[in-house]
Amino acid sequence: MTSVAVLGTGLLGTAIATRLLHQGLNVHVWNRDSSRIAPLAAMGANVIDDLEQVVENHRPIITVLRDASATTSVIDGVGHLQGSTVIPMGTMGVEESRNLAKHVAGQGGSYLEAPVLGSRPQALNGTLLVMAGGEALDFNQQHELLTHLAEQPMHVGPVGSGAATKLALNQMIASLTHSFSLSIRLIQQSGVPVETFMKILRPSALYAPTFDKKLQRMLDQHYSDPNFSTALLRKDLRLFLEEAAAAGLQTNGLQGLATLLEDAQGGDLDDQDYCALHELTVLR
């Protein structure tokens, strides 16, 4: 039976571990707050009490942690990696990922960044979009594991390319949600029925499925039960802007959105679904 460790059991990490358990894998789980492991243990996951237990049997190590700093700290706690492959699935900066790869190599392990597009529902049904960055050999060795989570995991290039691809996609999440919110606000204030607007938008080249996924939440101001929070969206947009600046890109058009999200930091929207940025597109 294939054995894998999942470090970090927040919303996405729990969904990933659950999917792997349902696929018949021998799953070992760890979380800083051990109480969050209980549901997975009840499903048959093995609880890791000490991070040094992670590398037993040279199992691959999937990390689903908030950022590069948290991931590095946890991998430090594992100690010598004994040839295990570390597979971070969280979002981090390009240089952060490259530095983590060097860190992992210094601990005797291999590294395959594998950030994902999708959230809890996609993780549970195995339809995440995986964009892997690293050596082709490492990708080929972990391909079977990744196919439990994605129908067609993609190797996009060397370390850093997966991180860049994920940031590019998450920037679009922020931009699309923001632009859609502004459009909805304007047509409502102009007296145009929202469904009339949507009937025009849906068959057009401007339509994106995320619009219908978030529309009712925005109209109902229902932002609880997030799959991806406003705080994480802000963090990822900040990372994108840092990478874009380093690449010499003009980002003035995004700065206003970044400012909106920064101004909301520490407020009620942080832990809610990211489409709560709809609350920021009207003057109060």
* Domains of the chain listed by start with CATH number: 3-158 (3.40.50.720), 164-280 (1.10.1040.10)
Work out the average pLDDT over 21-39. 94
pLDDT above 80: residue 58 = no
What are the residues facing 129 on neighbouring strands? 117
Contact 145, 254 (CB under 8 A): no
Question: What does the pLDDT average to over 69-80?
Answer: 95
Supply 195's token pair: 């469904």
Q: Which amino acid would we find at residue 92?
A: M
Question: What pairing do the DSSP bridges indicate for beta strands 154-157 and 129-134?
Answer: parallel
* 86 bridge partner residues: 61, 111
Give buried/exposed letters for 169-208 (b at 16+ CB in 10 A, else e).
bbbebbeebbebbeebeebeeeeeeeeebeeebeeeeeee
What number is the average pLDDT over the span 23-35?
Answer: 94
Q: For residue 161, what pLDDT band results from cuts at 50, 70 and 90?
A: very high
Taking residue 266's Cβ as centre, other Cβ atoms within 10 Å add up to 8
In this structure, what token pair is assigned to residue 162?
């997966």
Question: How far is Cα 13 from Cα 62, in angstroms, rounded to an integer?
Answer: 9
Mean pLDDT, range 161-176, rounded to an integer: 98
Q: Which helix (H) or strand (E) holds 132?
A: strand 129-134
pLDDT at 1 over 90: no
| pLDDT confidence of residue 284 | 78
User: Environment class of residue 24 by beta-carbon count within 10 Å: exposed (0-12), middle (13-18) or buried (19+)?
Assistant: exposed
Question: Quick check: helix, strand or coil at residue 88?
Answer: strand
Assigned token pair, 157: 């290039």
What is the arithmetic mean of pLDDT over 89-99? 96
Judge contact between 241 and 175, C-beta under 8 A.
Answer: no
Q: What band does 220 get if pLDDT is binned at 50, 70 and 90?
A: very high
Mean pLDDT value of segment 225-232: 93
Radius of gyration of the chain (CA): 20
**Smallest Cα–Cα separation from 29: which of 63, 77, 2, 76?**
63
Q: What is the pLDDT of residue 115?
A: 98
Confidence of residue 143 (pLDDT cuts 50, 70, 90): very high
Give start and end residues of each alpha helix (H) in 154-227. 161-189, 194-201, 209-220
Asked if the model's pLDDT at residue 69 lies above 80, the reply is yes
Q: Which two tokens stand for residue 242?
A: 């840092």
CA distance to 118, 187, 251, per residue, from 90 (Å):
11, 36, 24
pLDDT value at residue 75: 96
Please count the other Cβ atoms lying within 10 Å of the Cβ belonging to residue 51.
Answer: 16
Q: With bands split at pLDDT 50, 70 and 90, how would you rate the model's confidence at 283?
A: confident
Residue 53 has a pLDDT of 87
Do residues 88 and 12 make contact, with C-beta atoms less than 8 angstroms apart?
A: no
